[in-house]
A and B are shown apart, each in its own frame.
Chain A
Amino acid sequence: MSPSIDSSFRPPTEAWHPVSPKLTTARRLVLSITLLPLTVIGAVVLVVAGLPIWALVAVVAALVIFVWAWWLIGRRVRSFGYVERQDDLLVTSGILFRRLVIVPYGRMQLVDLVAGPIDRSFGLASVQLHTAAATTDAKIPGLPPDVAAGLRDRLAAQGEHRSAGL
């Protein structure tokens, strides 16, 4: 049953835009600079506390998690996709937890363009749509700044054009 499920959150009838592969590098960097120092600190503490075997176990576990997360990041970034249709925006993502969000342009209340320091150093930005519902989860990370700005402007124009209040 896997092929049909895989395409079900990404209907092939739409022309999906991917996000930049540089997002993979950026997220793997974040993973490395958080998990590896933590592992080293944890191992040192355990060794000092006289538990070298537990330190070994912790390091092995951390490495397994590291490799798994490293691999998952690649798949997860490739799973992101968005389509600007005539009346709405489609956003899909996720490997373990999949989602497909459909946001009508007329429901958008504001569009955020965000770029953190790591994103900026890789030349990335993310666009997030907000509706009156807090549960609308339509964030598109890992866009080149000019693409993100263009998308933001088009979405804002569409939203203004069709705004329907609540």
Chain B
Amino acid sequence: MTLSPGAAPSAGGATQPQHVHPLTPWVHAMQAAPVLLIAVVVPLGNAGEFGAWIILVALVAVLLLVALIAGLAYLSWTRLTYWFDGQGDFRIDSGIVTRRERRLQLSRLQGVDVVQPLFARLVGMAALTIEVAGAGDSRASLQYLKYEQAQALRSEVLARAAGLTHDAGEAPEEPLVLVPPRDLAVSLLLRGTTVFLFLLTIALVILLSVTAGWAGLFMILTAGVPIIIVFTEFTQFFNFTVAKSPDGLRTKAGLFQVTAQTIPPGRVQAVEFVQSWLWRRRGWVRVRINVAGLSTTDDNGQNQSQMSTVLLPVAPYPVARQIVNYVLPDMDLLDIEMKAAPPRAHRRAWIQFRNLSVGWNDRVFVTERGKYVNRIAVVPHARTQSVRVTQGPWERSLGLASMHVDSPPGPVTVVALYREVAEAQRLAQEQNDRAQAALRADPSTHWMTQTGAGDSDEQSVADFAPPTGLPSEGPPPPVEQEGRPAAPSSNDGTPAGQSPPAPDDLRDS
């Protein structure tokens, strides 16, 4: 496809400074209008005899405020320019009073998002968010571009970051999976926190109805908390699609605000499969990732940062594994032999001790923990930042220690909890050796110019479900999993070496 006039015409070299779309000030103003209207008019709804006049004045005030916002937005629009410089980096100049020149080093690119807030979406506009590795303010947002222009600029940024000096155009996209809204809704309702809050509400209503009569029914308001949580995540992850393209894995989701995100290959630092207790019989997992720069404490809007760390909101485990194979290729999770924690770990972790295990192959290190929220964390050896062994007083009294693999900030924690002390030390030393070996063989950051042109080749596409959606029935529930909570029978006396219960999460289906 041809790049639209706003984007760089001569890819590879420096480009002329560009403005974002001229309608930007208007979009900003219209986005603010409903909020202002509600804020001003609602409190005046019962304003007595001057009601009509006050409302009229308020409306005029709102109009003036909107015009003021539009004016300021216009000023900042005139000052906002972006271009690619001669060194191949992305530059943004902005600011009305304080001028700010930003330079985003594209060789450190971590991800590119195309975000469409509701109103911008209605008028066909989008914001482009560029994230580079680095602490603090490592993210820049261009508001707003025409949707096609934003997409063209995204591929341009990705192509340049990948080391391509010519105009590669929009990389072709191949859909991999679509999360059906029904499955998403069911999965959110079946989450532990949702169920717990609903049960709590019912208990409170019954308790207070008995003790305080009808007033107890007011407690039904606490049911609003889980409803809000479920609704927020539902709109955020609505129609979640994952597609693959040579410049990375693309996710796209949203009911009102649509966010499209591209994760270049090799940028994922760690992956976690999270399974709520009630998801187990359906074999569902959520996939979360650590990507350097997408810290969860990002101040740039909770939606975006949460979006960035969820690779799949819900999917059957085999599907999730396939998708993860695109961001961490060739890791063969199924062949990894998981070693359970020693039996005496149950004196430290009464509930989850059967779910504590650790394993590795020549590419990745895997840990599992948690019973009611089961978490399987995967970190490639080449992404191991450092390793730690820790021991608190309680662990010490039992001769246990925990081994950690440090990963950049994100939702995924990689920790082998409660191992024998000597084993934890050995795990740390061996993981350090594997990490060092992987470090010496680490490929460069210019992934598109390497042999194989990206990791996503044909081999794993054939057996993968077409973009028709998740197989709605999912795999049959494995018997061991169902039996696990109720039957503590055979595993108690098993020696620590060969894993009894834990790895079936990795092996099943």
Contact = CB atoms under 8 A, between A and B. Distances in A.
Interface stretch (A51-59, A70-78, A102-110): A102-110
Given A106-B439, A136-B406, A166-B292, A131 B386 contact: yes
Interface stretch (A5-13, A24-32, A113-121, A150-158): A5-13
A98 B386 contact: no
A34 interface: no
A100 interface: yes
Interface stretch (B33-41, B321-329, B392-400, B482-490): B392-400
Interface residues of A, number: 32
Given A132-B292, A132-B408, A164-B442, A100 B396 contact: no
Given A102-B428, A104-B386, A5 B406 contact: no
Given A8-B425, A166-B133, A166-B292, A96 B392 contact: yes
A8 B422 contact: yes
Contact of A96 (B133, B393, B422, B442): B393
A137 interface: yes
A99 B390 contact: yes
Nearest to B425: A8
Interface in B397-447: 399, 401, 404, 406-409, 421-422, 425, 428-429, 432, 435-436, 439, 442, 445
Contact of A97 (B292, B384, B392, B422): B392
A1 B432 CA distance: 26
A1 to B, nearest CB: 5
Contact of B388 (A8, A11, A88, A100): A100
B385 interface: yes
B385 A165 contact: no
Contact of B425 (A1, A94, A100, A101): A100
Nearest to B402: A99
Interface in A53-87: 87
Interface in A1-56: 1, 4-5, 8-9, 11
Interface in A112-166: 131-138, 162, 164-166
B187 interface: no
Given A4-B421, A136-B406, A98 B436 contact: no
B333 interface: no
Contact of A101 (B133, B388, B391, B429): B388
B104 to A, nearest CB: 16
A104 B393 CA distance: 28
Given A135-B404, A135-B406, A99 B133 contact: no
A133 B432 contact: no
A95 to B, nearest CB: 9
A166 B384 CA distance: 9
A8 B428 contact: no
B439 A133 contact: no
B259 interface: no
A101 B386 contact: yes
Contacts of B407: 133, 135
B435 A104 contact: yes
Contacts of A162: 439
A47 to B, nearest CB: 35
B73 interface: no
Nearest to B408: A132
Interface string B112-143: 00000000000000000000010000000000
A134 B393 contact: no
B436 A99 contact: no
B389 A87 contact: no
Contacts of A102: 386-388, 428-429, 432
A11 B428 CA distance: 12
Which among B292, B383, B386, B390 has the highest number of chain A CB atoms within 10 Å? Answer: B386
Chain B CB within 10 Å — which of A101, A103, A135, A165 has the most?
A135
B391 A9 contact: yes
Contact of A104 (B133, B408, B429, B436): B436
Contacts of B388: 99-102, 135-137
A165 B134 CA distance: 11
A161 to B, nearest CB: 12
Nearest to B291: A166
Given A107-B385, A134-B409, A166-B292, A98 B396 contact: yes
A30 B408 CA distance: 33
Contacts of A100: 388-389, 425, 428
11 contacts: A9-B391, A96-B392, A99-B391, A102-B387, A104-B439, A106-B439, A107-B385, A131-B385, A132-B269, A132-B385, A136-B406
Given A97-B390, A101-B388, 18 more contacts: A4-B422, A5-B399, A9-B389, A87-B436, A88-B432, A96-B393, A97-B393, A98-B390, A100-B388, A101-B387, A104-B386, A104-B432, A107-B384, A107-B385, A107-B386, A165-B442, A165-B445, A166-B383
Interface of A: 1, 4-5, 8-9, 11, 87-88, 94, 96-104, 106-107, 131-138, 162, 164-166
Interface of B: 108, 133, 267, 269, 292, 383-393, 396, 399, 401, 404, 406-409, 421-422, 425, 428-429, 432, 435-436, 439, 442, 445
